[in-house]
Amino acid sequence: MSNEHEEKVLSIYVYEAPLRLWHWINALAITVLAVTGYLIGSPPEAMIGEASEHYRMGIIRFLHFGAGYVLLFGFIGRIYWAFAGNEHARELFVPKMYSILWWKELLTELKWYLFLTKEPHKYVGHNPLAQFAMFFIFLVGMVFMICTGFALYSEGAGAGTWSAVAFGWVRDIFPNSQTLHTWHHLGMWYLLTFVMAHVYVAIREDIMSRQSIVSTMISGHRLFKDDRP
């Protein structure tokens, strides 16, 4: 919410390099995870020949587990950056839901999406509506997928491995492994729905709002199209 219009601030450095890097690595990891995850649930047509000649399912699973590790360590790095980075790096984890102003802004933004206002406000970081979605759909979804994913991974890794120690407890929440698989699978669609809305909204905002969105995640700079409040 930039109010320093007097100084004609047209560009602010918002997203630092580690955060941008994480965003794109994470996007890539999620893409690989979704594709390979879908194929694990519904494997492609059978390969002809001896079993010793092929390792297709093995490769699909390897990619899935590899991307899962990338996602996990990326997420750990992202949490570190919430402490080390600037204030925008913390926004994802702690939306200001305790502030009345935050909820008011969320309403204004909601009106903007319902075509009820002519012009949106300006935001340096995420607007409250975006923060809301980032927290409740993306962050909660990510944590759910990491926990259920590594719980499933621990089934194959076996008792006593780090994943069984760290995530084995998740298996007890669900009645059985098959149900855990189903929930993990539904989680993929939950996150994919988020991705669809996220990409659409980012492009739309880039065109229609008063600040840059897409390029900000590349350069890190938030550009404002006007200097009005």
Q: How far is the CB of 64 from another protein (least distance, A)?
A: 13
Q: Count CA atoms within 13 Å of residue 70 on its CB side.
A: 19
Residue 37 has which token pair? 């995850």
| Total binding residues toward another protein, as defined by CB under 8 A | 45
Pick between residue 34 and residue 70 the one whose CB is nearest to another protein.
Answer: 34
Structure tokens, 185: 């699978």
The angle subtended at Cα 104 by Cα 99 and Cα 109, nearest 5°, is 125
Q: Build a one-symbol-per-residue string for 189-208: x at contacts with another protein by CB under 8 A, - elsewhere.
A: x--xx--xx--x---x--xx
> Within 20-39, which residues bind another protein (CB under 8 A)?
38
Nearest residue to 146 via CA among 74, 42, 90:
74
Contact status: 225 vs another protein (CB under 8 A): no
Q: Which of 17, 58, 100, 228 binds another protein (CB under 8 A)?
A: 58
Tell me: does residue 161 bind another protein (CB under 8 A). no
CB of 116 to another protein, least distance (A): 11
User: In 3-state terms, what secondary structure has residue 211?
Assistant: strand
Dihedral (C-alpha) 90, 216, 189, 54: value to the nearest 10 degrees?
A: -110
Residue 15's identity, in one-letter code, is Y
Structure tokens at 75: 């997420």
By the rule CB under 8 A, 16 interacts with another protein: no
Cβ-Cβ contacts under 8 Å for 171 (sequence gap 6 or more): 151, 154, 155, 177, 180
Q: Is 94 in the site for another protein (CB under 8 A)?
A: no
Assigned token pair, 62: 């390897």
Q: Is 116 in the site for another protein (CB under 8 A)?
A: no
Of 46 and 100, CB closest to another protein: 46
* Shortest CB 147 distance to another protein, Å: 16
- Two structure tokens written together for 41: 């649930």
Chain residues that interact with another protein, rule: CB under 8 A: 38, 41-47, 51-58, 60, 113, 115, 155-156, 158-159, 168, 171-172, 175-179, 181-182, 185-186, 188-189, 192-193, 196-197, 200, 204, 207-208
